[in-house]
């Protein structure tokens, strides 16, 4: 068997790799740029958990190699520390520390001192969650409740508005989980994230398939009123099916204004079955809170006109290959995979189980709702219509 020669990526190639990964491209598509297998790309990205390492640079406050060479020349010509410091426009204490830290006056060498400084700067900084174990315990408890890092960070700001010791960014939480060298949070907590992966993916990443059906008399999303687009009023929903093994599926509905989620058991993917389920769901809600439905162009909505006749709810269809036009629903479907993994038989779940999962999502605080929950906001509208 003929083996490929080991391939070493240059820093420029690694930078291109990270650029493509952050734009949401797959490992396979990135690998094709280099005519390599996706595993070689994954090996590079996985070293930092799919999170791009910060590029190294020198702080303007630190001594440069040129300044260190001036210090070395000053020592060689017998200048005092104060004279050397004045020529560099630096404090004498800065020059004194630099010399003492690097073998003293007799053995100071600019190049060695510069390398030592660069090596010291590369040491990992202590993470805030590693320093404040009480904060780490709070974050851990919320992760175990399946809160997202962003929800935790937002909640902490509300609960501890005047105490920065108990505030942490969502990015720090992610880094603590995916880059275990930081030693702040246990790797086992990854299982509680919405999408349990060994590497963090870009928010732009999607595996949504292209247009997969032709719908007769479909009303384009471009004809949807502007009040729906800007989420100004409640009652406009986005829907889709998540698919499992053995021809199983679940209907997912998300209200655009409140992000309230409804899940419905669907026994078959044919249009009659799907539309019957959607009609039944629609009749459970106040008319004021169900004014339109936006769907992709899957054939399961071929009978959309029957749905509209039965409910007086208009159905709008996304453009081909544009899953972001149903962004709230796409995001929710991704979150639901935590409970309904791909490749599993979804028919095994009862409607009661689906209701419990929907309730779990609806009772989580959301950044876009100023950290209120979808249930709180949706129930306020229900009370107003009642």
pLDDT of residue 208: 47
Q: How far apart are CA 50 and CA 354, in angstroms?
A: 32
pLDDT of residue 55: 67
pLDDT of residue 124: 56
pLDDT of residue 181: 46
With a cut of 70, list the residues of the chain below it in pLDDT. 1-7, 47-49, 51, 53-59, 121-126, 179-184, 187, 194-214, 386
Q: Give tens-digit pLDDT for 35-69.
A: 777 777 777 777 666 767 666 666 677 888 899 99
Class of residue 353 by CB neighbours under 10 A (exposed 0-12, middle 13-18, buried 19+): middle
Q: Which two tokens stand for residue 350?
A: 């009862």
pLDDT of residue 15: 82
Q: How far apart are CA 274 and CA 304, in angstroms?
A: 10
pLDDT of residue 12: 81
pLDDT of residue 212: 44
pLDDT of residue 203: 54
On the CB side of 334, CA atoms within 13 Å amount to 21
Q: How far apart are CA 324 and CA 204, in angstroms?
A: 10
Q: How far apart are CA 92 and CA 106, in angstroms?
A: 18
pLDDT of residue 276: 94
pLDDT of residue 184: 66
pTM for this prediction: 0.50
Look up the CATH number of domain 219-385: 3.30.420.10
pLDDT of residue 248: 92
pLDDT of residue 305: 92
């Amino acid at each position: 068997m003929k083996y490929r020669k080991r391939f070493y990526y240059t820093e420029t190639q690694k930078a291109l790799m990270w650029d493509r990964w952050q734009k949401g491209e797959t490992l396979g598509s990135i690998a094709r740029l280099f005519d390599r297998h996706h595993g070689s790309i994954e090996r590079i990205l996985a070293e930092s958990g799919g999170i791009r390492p910060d590029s190294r640079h020198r702080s303007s406050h630190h001594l440069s190699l040129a300044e260190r060479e001036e210090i070395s020349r000053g020592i060689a010509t017998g200048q005092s520390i104060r004279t050397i410091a004045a020529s560099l426009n630096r404090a004498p204490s800065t020059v004194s520390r630099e010399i003492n830290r690097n073998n003293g006056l007799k053995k100071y060498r600019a190049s060695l001192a510069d390398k030592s400084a660069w090596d010291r700067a590369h040491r990992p900084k202590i993470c805030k969650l590693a320093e404040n174990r009480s904060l780490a315990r709070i974050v851990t408890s919320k992760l175990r409740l399946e809160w997202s890092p962003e929800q935790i960070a937002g909640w902490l700001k509300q609960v501890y508005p005047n105490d920065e010791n108990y505030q942490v960014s969502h990015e720090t939480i992610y880094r603590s989980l995916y880059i275990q060298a930081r030693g702040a949070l246990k790797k086992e907590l990854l299982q509680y994230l919405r999408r349990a992966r060994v590497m963090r993916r870009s928010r732009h990443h999607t595996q949504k398939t292209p247009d997969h059906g032709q719908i007769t008399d479909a009303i384009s999303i471009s004809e949807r009123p502007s009040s729906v687009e800007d989420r100004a009023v409640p009652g406009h929903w986005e829907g889709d099916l998540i698919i499992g093994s053995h021809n199983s599926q679940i209907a997912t509905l998300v209200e655009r204004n409140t992000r309230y989620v409804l899940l419905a058991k669907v026994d078959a993917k044919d249009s009659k079955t799907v539309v019957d389920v959607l009609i039944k769901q629609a009749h459970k809600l106040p008319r004021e809170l169900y004014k339109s439905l936006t769907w992709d162009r899957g054939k399961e909505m071929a009978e959309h006109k029957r749905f509209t006749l039965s409910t007086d709810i208009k159905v709008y269809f996304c453009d081909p290959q544009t899953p972001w036009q149903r962004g709230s629903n796409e995001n929710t479907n991704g979150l639901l995979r935590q409970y309904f993994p791909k490749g599993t038989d979804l028919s095994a779940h009862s409607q009661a189980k689906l209701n419990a999962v929907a309730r779990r999502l609806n009772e989580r605080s959301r950044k876009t709702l100023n950290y209120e929950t979808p249930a709180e906001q949706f129930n306020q509208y229900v009370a107003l219509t009642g």
